[in-house]
Amino acid sequence: MSKHLIALDIDGTVVNYDGSLSEPVREVLTQLVEAGHHLVISTGRALPGALEVVHALDLKEGFVVCSNGSVVVKLDPASPLGWEMHHVVSFDPKDALEKMYEALPNALFLVEDPDLHRWASGPFPAGELAESDTLDIVDFEQLLEKTATRIVMREVNGTAEEFAEAVDRLGLHEVSYSVGWSNWLDIAPDGVSKASGLELVESELGVDHELTICAGDGLNDIEMIEWAHHAIVMGQSKDVLKQRASVVTKSVDDDGLAVALVDYFDLDREVLSLSGSRDTHA
């Protein structure tokens, strides 16, 4: 069988929203890696959070697209860190941050810089930043002086409707952005997305585009889902994403990723009956 590029979102796709990884999903992904396919993690998480899943899946080689495409790293077991930087895109966050602050002055703001260090205007709610020990709290004005690969705006209070209205008023045309769960806005450099990161990986690996598969569940997956030759959308996703799918699978709670990949690659369905287990956390 030809070797595919299989690009996977993390939260809500590979792992549940509590970070747990099921045994059927782990086993299916292990089988595909052992068969020689290129498994690529493609996530909005910063690199440390992405590496948690890389380690949980015991991936040693390949690529990781993180920070919604702004950062691409190559896994290398011979490297001291187990990875090396492949591609970084950055931008001046000042204008976007000032607009965001004007719209929602009580929100939390985070900037990730090209060295993958993260700076925030205040602590984020517990559990929202898996790698929170890398976060430095600074005054908002200091964030304006940073160079960014990514900005996050998080409104802890208020409704989703109020947050969406505030984002609509921002007029952010010089960057790429997506509204995620729980009043969360991700901003990347203009034209940067998971899809742009995956184009680099596809070229580096020399994979025919007809052999690209992507799976995701969130609005920051839209470009990736549209880019893929075969697009798997999780059952709990919003309709705007489902409309772009090659196949809509079951929800993450029902191991939808494993189901879709078993069907696509005609794997042994017995793997789906593995008991166990959402007891492994990434």
263 and 209 share one domain: yes
139 and 182 share one domain: yes
Out of 144, 168, 189, a domain closes at 189
Residue 132 reports pLDDT greater than 50: no
Tally of domains within the chain: 2
pLDDT at 10: 94
115 and 202 share one domain: no
Out of 156, 189, 222, a domain closes at 189
184 and 98 share one domain: yes
Out of 189, 204, 227, a domain closes at 189
C-alpha to C-alpha distance for 68 and 95, rounded to whole angstroms? 20
End-to-end Cα distance, the chain: 30
204 and 173 share one domain: no
Residue 240 reports pLDDT greater than 60: yes
- Tell me, what CATH number does 133's domain have? 3.30.1240.10
Helix (H, G, I), strand (E, B) or coil at 118: strand
pLDDT at 128: 76
Overall pTM surpassing 0.85 (yes/no): yes
More confident call, 238 vs 262: 262
Whole domain around residue 62: which residue ranges? 5-88+193-281
